[in-house]
Amino acid sequence: MAQTSLTGSRWLDSVARRLKHLREGLKSPESGRLEEFKARTFLVVKCRWLLLTLVGIYCLVAGSTYYVSRIGLFLSPSQVMFLVVTASTVIAYNLLLHLFYQRIICCFRFINVFQIVLDLLLVTVLVHLSGGASSWFWPVYLIVTIEAAFLIEGKREVWFVGAFGGILYGALLALEHFGFIPNVPMPFVEPGLHQDPHYILLVWLWVSLLNAAAAVIGSYFVSVIERESEATRQSEERLMGFLDTANDLILSFSPEGRLRYVNEAWQQVLGYTAEEAKELSFFGIIHPDSRERCNAELERILAGDVLSPLEATLVAKGGRSIIVEGSLTCGVDGEGSTAVWGICRDITERKQVEEQLYRLAHHDTLTGLPNRILFLDRLQQAKAHANRYRHHVALMFLDLDRFKIINDTLGHPVGDKLLQEVAKRLVDCVREVDTVARIGGDEFTVVLVNIDSVEDVKRVAQKILKSLSVPFMVDSFELYITTSIGIALYPGDDENPDNLVKKADIAMYHAKGEGRNTFKFYVPKMDANADKRLLLETSLRKALDNEEFRVYYQPKVDITTKQITAMEALLRWQHPTLGLVAPSEFIPLAEETGLIVPIGEWVLRAACLQNRKWLEMGLPPMKVAVNLSGYQFQQPNLLDIIRTVLADTGLDPGLLELEITESVIMQNPDFAVAVLAEIRDLGIHISIDDFGTGYSSLAHLKRFSINTLKIDKSFVRDVEINSADAAIATAIIAMGNSLNLKVIAEGVETEGQLTFLSENKCDEVQGFLFSTPMPSEDVADFLRGRTTLVAPVSLNSAP
């Protein structure tokens, strides 16, 4: 893994060094081509310098040895002159190409061809001066041909150069043989060889064939090198495109902090150009709050450790703070120096959203005070702190006296402003280490920490009562408000935070019972005869009058078209002190006390009225599904209630669906058949809820006037992993299809469950995968936000 990272870092550094040149070549193809020609020419020029150096050394060695030998220095003055002129010519134009290539190529675009031809001519001269047919200088033809393979692009042109070299050599030999050019005598060479046609032909063929082979092989190898180079260039261009178009911020820097490379995203986010980044230090753009941590992490990277993702704050141009999350890796570049690569993403907006969501989730939107969630967390912290330092904690539960009158007479806007002013005064009455929270409509809590005596708590309570007794000026209204305060102490009254809240709440109700505008400490006798059941029953009896019930709606979705087929009305109880009470806690109690009948009628009316409002808002017609309890189903006036609600709300019966549990209708099948038939005759859709948990038979199902079977969520939850649940769900779907009934599965939360139900031809689904239950005011936005809204519904005439 470490070796792979090291190799990757080397490659990235190699690419980074050439990114600038690649960009320039992409921006200006002509400029890129010129640079390529220049590089090739310089390579050949350097090879010529090396060759000239070797030839010069060889000539010096040869001349020196000949000078002291029995032969002596055999060169004539004319030979020396020609050799000097030829060598000077090569040196001259090689020097011109080395120093003034840019100017020469602009004036003479065929300079590469010209210099090859010139090389061949000069080589031919040197071959003549060094003995002609017996010259040892002819291999230089091969070197020139290989030069041509590097300098000239076309293969045919290279082959032509090879052939041209052979032609020049053959012409020289012919001219020498027929006496047009005198032979140059050389030591150790038989003069008769110049007159032997057979020898001359063989020599010429040998040189020509080798030259041709050099042309073919050279052009082939150059083409291979070019293909590999082009593949590498394209790979680097793709990498460059990836780096520069990546949304992540990518940079490379030295261990000293000098920035070597930054991509486009980095430049856009931090506001620096690539040129400006070269003048920056990596440590200089790190925010002081993150610098120490980043330095420590960098030291670990350089030591060879593998680190987990790191969060840091960068300072952008202009001083803006940018929060990033990413990782660093260390490697060695092609030059052997250490390089650090970093890739990160800008998470500034995400952090801001997280902070906002955290605040929304933990603070009251009206007053800005901590809400119930944060209040309980602070209470838990206060408890831990008290255990450590052996202090006490006081919990105050406040409820504003007769606040509902202000809301009803002056309106909620005035009431909201009053709550905001109350919150400010409560905060002013306590220390910064204490917590004031709003946990309900007009209910507040105060957590007092580091309490040494009860007298300290009494002083704070009296301070709050005195502060709130001062009139409030809200929208030109002079308002008077008082509060009742219940106080519970930790650890004296209870060690459980929830129980502590409950006991403070009980004490608050005792304060209200004693005339309000006072405070009471919790004592055990306050709840001697009270329990949660009594509290719920008492609260339940007034919940309907106090409008504490809420109806939430969850959509039913066609599994094929993904259209909404209905909205199921779900009852919720917003208890003033216990918060949102689960239906499983109060529905059984409501049934036992008989309160389920008026509550059920209220839900039915509220759902029908809401559906009517949605129609008036211009939303497409859709069914609203309402659950009927067993007690409601047994009521003799059930049909009259349904007709009255439909008439009062003006809702078409075809837009109402009643859901009845399987166990209810199976308690008395004959009675159920009659009632369901009458409901069906009204044009109302009927669904059997929680199907599969009871004991319906196929014979009974055929008798019931129903439209839909609803698979209980207990069978849907594990259909992907439990073969028994999968078999039951499959059987229910098959049964429903055989009876021409719609089948809907509830509790669908995963794509796997949805896929299973779709493959087994379930008609509709319902669950968190599509939507959680939502308040009525959110339904319109939910429907308008969908591309496919509501499935068509056939309407009936009003009853």
Of 332 and 759, the one with more pLDDT: 759
**Torsion sign, CA atoms 422, 425, 430, 434:** positive
Look at residue 422 in the predicted model and tell me its pLDDT: 95
Region 643-658 average pLDDT = 93
How far is 255 from 353, CA to CA, in rounded Å?
Answer: 34
CB 97 within 8 A of CB 90: no
Q: Residue 723: exposed, middle, or buried by beta-carbon count in 10 A (0-12, 13-18, 19+)?
A: exposed
pLDDT band at 27 (very low <50, low <70, confident <90, very high): very low
Look at residue 653 in the predicted model and tell me its pLDDT: 93
pLDDT band at 276 (very low <50, low <70, confident <90, very high): confident
Taking alpha carbons only, the member of 444, 405, 495, 518 closest to residue 510 is: 518
Q: Per DSSP, what are the bridge partners of residue 708?
A: 687, 742
Q: How is the beta sheet containing 310-315 ordered, strand by strand?
A: 259-262, 249-253, 338-346, 321-332, 310-315
Look at residue 198 in the predicted model and tell me its pLDDT: 84
How far is 320 from 312, CA to CA, in rounded Å?
Answer: 14
How far is 337 from 793, CA to CA, in rounded Å?
Answer: 73
Region 182-210 average pLDDT = 76
Of 89 and 76, the one with more pLDDT: 89
Look at residue 1 in the predicted model and tell me its pLDDT: 42
DSSP line for 89-136: HHHHHHHHHHHHHHHHHHH-TTHHHHHHHHHHHHHHHHHHHTTGGG-S
Phi-psi region of 475 (alpha: psi -120 to 50; beta: other; left: phi over 0): left
Look at residue 693 in the predicted model and tell me its pLDDT: 57
Report pLDDT digits (tens) over 560-594. 888 898 999 999 998 888 888 878 778 767 876 77
DSSP line for 296-358: HHHHHHHTT-----EEEEEE-TTS-EEEEEEEEEEEE-TTS-EEEEEEEEE-HHHHHHHHHHH
Region 613-641 average pLDDT = 87
Pairing relationship of beta strands 259-262 and 249-253 according to DSSP bridges: antiparallel
Report residue 778 as tokens. Answer: 């959110």
Query: Residue 67 in 3-state DSSP?
Result: helix
Full-model pTM:
0.39
Share of the chain above pLDDT 70, in %: 81
Taking alpha carbons only, the member of 120, 101, 100 closest to residue 164 is: 120
CB-based contacts of 217-226 (< 8 A; 24+ apart in sequence):
218/145, 218/146, 218/148, 218/149, 218/150, 218/158, 219/149, 219/155, 219/158, 219/159, 221/149, 222/149, 222/150, 222/158, 223/155
Domains, the chain, with CATH or none: 2-238 (no CATH), 246-352 (3.30.450.20), 363-530 (3.30.70.270), 549-784 (3.20.20.450)
Of 550 and 530, the one with more pLDDT: 550
Look at residue 670 in the predicted model and tell me its pLDDT: 67
Average pLDDT across the chain, whole number: 80
> For the stretch 653-679, what's the b/e string if a residue is b when 16 or more beta carbons lie within 10 angstroms of its beta carbon?
bbbbbbbbbbebbbeeeeebeebbeeb
- pLDDT at residue 23 tops 50: no
Look at residue 15 in the predicted model and tell me its pLDDT: 46
> For the stretch 728-748, what's the b/e string if a residue is b when 16 or more beta carbons lie within 10 angstroms of its beta carbon?
bbbebbebbbeeebbbbbbbb
How far is 691 from 768, CA to CA, in rounded Å?
Answer: 19
pLDDT band at 552 (very low <50, low <70, confident <90, very high): very high
How far is 365 from 569, CA to CA, in rounded Å?
Answer: 27
Which single residue is written with the structure tokens 């120490």?
Answer: 292
Report pLDDT digits (tens) over 514-537. 767 899 999 888 765 446 657 777
Per-range mean pLDDT, top range of 131-140, 150-159, 633-642, 698-707: 633-642
Region 101-110 average pLDDT = 59
Between CA 773 and CA 757, with CA 742 as vertex, the angle to 5 degrees is 70
Look at residue 29 in the predicted model and tell me its pLDDT: 47
**Torsion sign, CA atoms 534, 537, 543, 546:** negative
Report pLDDT digits (tens) over 497-510. 999 999 998 888 77
Rg of the chain (C-alpha set) = 47
Look at residue 743 in the predicted model and tell me its pLDDT: 92
Report residue 374 as tokens. Answer: 């944060």
- pLDDT at residue 38 tops 90: no
Q: In this predicted structure, which of 53-62, 194-203, 292-301, 448-457 has the lowest mean pLDDT?
A: 53-62
How far is 314 from 288, CA to CA, in rounded Å?
Answer: 9
Report residue 675 as tokens. Answer: 């009632």
Region 406-434 average pLDDT = 88
Work out the angle between the directed axes of helices 2-27 and 29-68 (0-180°, nearest 10).
Answer: 110
Region 311-320 average pLDDT = 84
How far is 731 from 737, CA to CA, in rounded Å?
Answer: 10
Pairing relationship of beta strands 483-490 and 477-479 according to DSSP bridges: unpaired
pLDDT band at 658 (very low <50, low <70, confident <90, very high): very high
Look at residue 171 in the predicted model and tell me its pLDDT: 83
Which single residue is written with the structure tokens 């919720």?
Answer: 572
CB 250 within 8 A of CB 265: yes
How far is 574 from 54, CA to CA, in rounded Å?
Answer: 99
Taking alpha carbons only, the member of 227, 45, 223, 196 closest to residue 134 is: 196
Region 478-483 average pLDDT = 81
Q: Per DSSP, what are the bridge partners of residue 7?
A: none
Q: In this predicted structure, which of 182-196, 420-434, 480-494 has the lowest mean pLDDT?
A: 182-196
Look at residue 601 in the predicted model and tell me its pLDDT: 92
pLDDT band at 4 (very low <50, low <70, confident <90, very high): very low
Percentages (nearest 5) of helix, strand, coil residues in the chain: 55, 15, 25
Region 183-205 average pLDDT = 74
pLDDT band at 8 (very low <50, low <70, confident <90, very high): very low
Look at residue 788 in the predicted model and tell me its pLDDT: 52
Report residue 13 as tokens. Answer: 């550094």
Report pLDDT digits (tens) over 230-254. 777 777 677 677 777 777 888 888 8
Look at residue 393 in the predicted model and tell me its pLDDT: 94
Look at residue 669 in the predicted model and tell me its pLDDT: 67
Taking alpha carbons only, the member of 197, 187, 207, 184 closest to residue 138 is: 207
Report pLDDT digits (tens) over 422-444. 999 999 999 999 999 999 888 99
Give the residue ranges of DSSP H helices in 484-554.
Answer: 497-513, 532-543
Look at residue 226 in the predicted model and tell me its pLDDT: 73
Q: In this predicted structure, which of 119-133, 259-273, 688-702, 767-781 has the lowest mean pLDDT?
A: 688-702
Query: Residue 589 in 3-state DSSP?
Result: helix
Report pLDDT digits (tens) over 113-149. 777 777 778 777 777 777 777 777 777 777 777 777 7
pLDDT band at 33 (very low <50, low <70, confident <90, very high): low
Q: Per DSSP, what are the bridge partners of residue 490?
A: 393
How far is 157 from 168, CA to CA, in rounded Å?
Answer: 16
Measured CA distances, 769 to 477, 622, 705, 776 (Å): 49, 20, 30, 19
Look at residue 444 in the predicted model and tell me its pLDDT: 96
pLDDT band at 790 (very low <50, low <70, confident <90, very high): low
pLDDT band at 109 (very low <50, low <70, confident <90, very high): low
- pLDDT at residue 2 tops 50: no
Q: Half-sphere exposure (CA, 13 Å, Cβ side) for 690?
A: 13
- pLDDT at residue 91 tops 80: no
- pLDDT at residue 554 tops 90: yes
